[in-house]
């Protein structure tokens, strides 16, 4: 157990803190999310007040994303130009989000506000991501049954094709990603993600990655790397703003960053061995699991007299869910290695892994 001066009278299990950082780091490197949508609720469950969980989560995201972005840059998964354009709008949204969080803190409603918004966003994003990715996997399974070669990374969705055809000037062409889209669409996406980042203490990756895939039309791996690149600057800005507001426990963030620096490297490595649909399925499952854990924590906050039961339940769901996510990622990595070496793997897994690294 460890005690932080900012958390008077609250003892924090340091092993759970390390596990949060390590596990979230693997998911960050694998799915391109900053990972704070895991870290922020988990810190609240451990006993951090919501405002300190938000600020500390952003400090962790900044350090973790730097490691992940450099790794994905080496793999060729980063569109720097697109990331910088998104960044402009995200910063504006972040400022609005931080101001809103401070207002709810001053009104004594910060826990209820952060958790309620988190539940709504997690359920919407997680449900859509799962629906789309399962539909895509079924298509790939049918192709394998018919003896067809699996296609290259997913092409632009019908939504992204329509948006790319909108001719509101100025339109920008991103050579690395191979897309052309109106600047205003990119700015709108960035502002919305930044708003959520400021309120929830997240880098916004769990929203940004699906948005880049389904709305902008990027392949999953390119969306992963590009998001991690822009998350560095978003999280840095948010961390500075929250530090100015007294919402960051630096030592707690440092402990998690050390743990996650190992996890991020492994998560990014696994993306070389799987198909994009695998990333989206695991991201969707993880988001929905943490939505359940966040709902239980919110019920504990709203029903104070029985909050201990909900706190225990939310802790079980959150940490077992993180463990399940790590097992799925490791399982895909092992299955891909076996598949590339010509060994037998279950038929339902073949559409999830790659034959060549």
Q: What is the mean predicted confidence (pLDDT) over 274-294?
A: 83
Q: What is the mean predicted confidence (pLDDT) over 315-328?
A: 82
277: region left, alpha or beta (phi > 0 left; psi from -120 to 50 alpha): alpha
pLDDT at 59: 81
H helical segments located in the chain: 14-31, 36-46, 50-74, 80-106, 110-145, 158-165, 183-200, 205-210, 220-244, 250-270, 276-302, 307-340
pLDDT at 200: 66
pLDDT at 159: 65
For 37-82, give the secondary structure using H, E and C.
HHHHHHHHHHCCCHHHHHHHHHHHHHHHHHHHHHHHHHCCCCCHHH
Confidence at 320, pLDDT banded by 50, 70, 90: confident
Render pLDDT for 261-273 as a digit per residue (tens, 0 to 9): 888 888 888 888 8
- Percentage of the chain surpassing pLDDT 90? 0
Task: Give residues with Cβ within 8 angstroms of 283, minimum separation 6.
Answer: 27, 31, 33, 129, 206, 209, 210
Nearest in space to 40 (alpha carbons), one of 123, 155, 138, 119 = 119
pLDDT at 65: 75
pLDDT at 157: 56
pLDDT at 357: 53
Is residue 225 pLDDT above 60, yes or no?
yes
Confidence at 155, pLDDT banded by 50, 70, 90: low
Inter-residue contact 247 to 5 (CB < 8 Å)? no
Helix (H, G, I), strand (E, B) or coil at 246: coil
pLDDT at 201: 57
Q: What is the mean predicted confidence (pLDDT) over 232-239?
A: 76
Task: Give residues with Cβ within 8 angstroms of 250, minimum separation 6.
Answer: 59
Task: Give residues with Cβ within 8 angstroms of 243, minimum separation 6.
Answer: 55, 59
Task: Give residues with Cβ within 8 angstroms of 190, minimum separation 6.
Answer: 85, 86, 87, 88, 89, 90, 92, 93
pLDDT at 202: 58
pLDDT at 150: 66
Handedness of CA 94, 33, 157, 118 (dihedral sign): negative
Q: What is the mean predicted confidence (pLDDT) over 219-231?
A: 78
Q: Among the ranges 93-102, 202-211, 333-342, which has the highest mean pLDDT value?
A: 333-342
Render pLDDT for 19-63 as a digit per residue (tens, 0 to 9): 888 888 888 778 766 566 677 777 877 778 777 887 888 788 777
Is residue 107 pLDDT above 80, yes or no?
no
Inter-residue contact 345 to 335 (CB < 8 Å)? yes
Residues in the chain, total: 357
Distance CA 224, CA 355 (A): 20
Inter-residue contact 198 to 238 (CB < 8 Å)? yes
Phi, psi (rounded to 5 degrees) for 34: -65, -30
Is residue 305 pLDDT above 70, yes or no?
no
Task: Give residues with Cβ within 8 angstroms of 70, minimum separation 6.
Answer: none
Task: Give residues with Cβ within 8 angstroms of 25, minimum separation 6.
Answer: 35, 64, 67, 68, 259, 260, 261, 262, 263, 264, 267
Render pLDDT for 170-185 as a digit per residue (tens, 0 to 9): 877 777 777 777 888 8
Confidence at 151, pLDDT banded by 50, 70, 90: low
pLDDT at 283: 83
Confidence at 233, pLDDT banded by 50, 70, 90: confident
pLDDT at 164: 64
Average pLDDT value over all residues in the chain: 78
Q: CA angle, 137 as apex, 122 and 144 as ends, to 5°?
A: 170
Q: Where are the domains of the chain?
A: 12-349
């Amino acid at each position: 157990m460890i005690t932080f001066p900012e958390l008077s009278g609250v003892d924090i299990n340091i092993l759970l803190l390390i596990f949060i950082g390590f596990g979230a780091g693997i998911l960050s490197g694998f799915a391109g999310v900053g990972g704070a949508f895991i870290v922020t609720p988990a810190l609240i469950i451990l006993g951090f007040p919501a405002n300190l969980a938000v600020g500390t989560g952003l400090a962790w995201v900044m350090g973790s994303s730097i490691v992940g972005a450099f790794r994905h840059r080496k793999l060729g998964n980063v569109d720097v130009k697109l990331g910088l354009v998104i960044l402009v709008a995200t910063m504006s949204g972040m400022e609005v989000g931080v101001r809103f969080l401070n207002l709810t803190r001053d009104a004594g409603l910060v826990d209820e506000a952060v958790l309620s918004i988190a539940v709504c966003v997690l359920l919407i994003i997680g449900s859509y991501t799962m629906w789309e990715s399962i539909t895509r996997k079924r298509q790939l399974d049918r192709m394998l049954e018919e003896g067809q070669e699996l296609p290259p990374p997913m092409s632009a969705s019908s939504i992204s094709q329509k948006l790319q055809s909108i001719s509101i000037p100025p339109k920008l062409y991103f050579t690395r990603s191979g897309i052309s889209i109106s600047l205003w669409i990119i700015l709108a996406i960035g502002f919305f993600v930044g708003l959520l980042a400021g309120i929830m203490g997240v880098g916004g990756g769990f929203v940004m990655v699906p948005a880049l895939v389904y709305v902008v039309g990027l392949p999953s791996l390119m969306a992963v790397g590009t998001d991690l690149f822009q998350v560095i600057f978003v999280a840095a800005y948010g961390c500075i703003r929250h530090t100015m507001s007294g919402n960051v426990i630096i030592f707690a963030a440092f402990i998690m960053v050390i743990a996650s620096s190992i996890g991020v490297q492994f998560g990014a490595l696994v993306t070389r061995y799987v198909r994009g649909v695998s990333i989206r399925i695991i991201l969707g499952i993880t988001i929905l699991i943490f939505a359940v854990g966040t709902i239980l924590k919110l019920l504990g906050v709203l029903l104070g007299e029985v909050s201990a039961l909900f706190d225990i339940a939310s802790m079980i769901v959150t940490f077992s869910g993180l463990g399940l996510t790590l097992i799925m990622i490791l399982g895909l990595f092992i299955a891909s290695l076996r598949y590339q070496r010509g060994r037998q793997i279950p038929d339902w897994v073949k559409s999830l892994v790659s034959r060549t690294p």
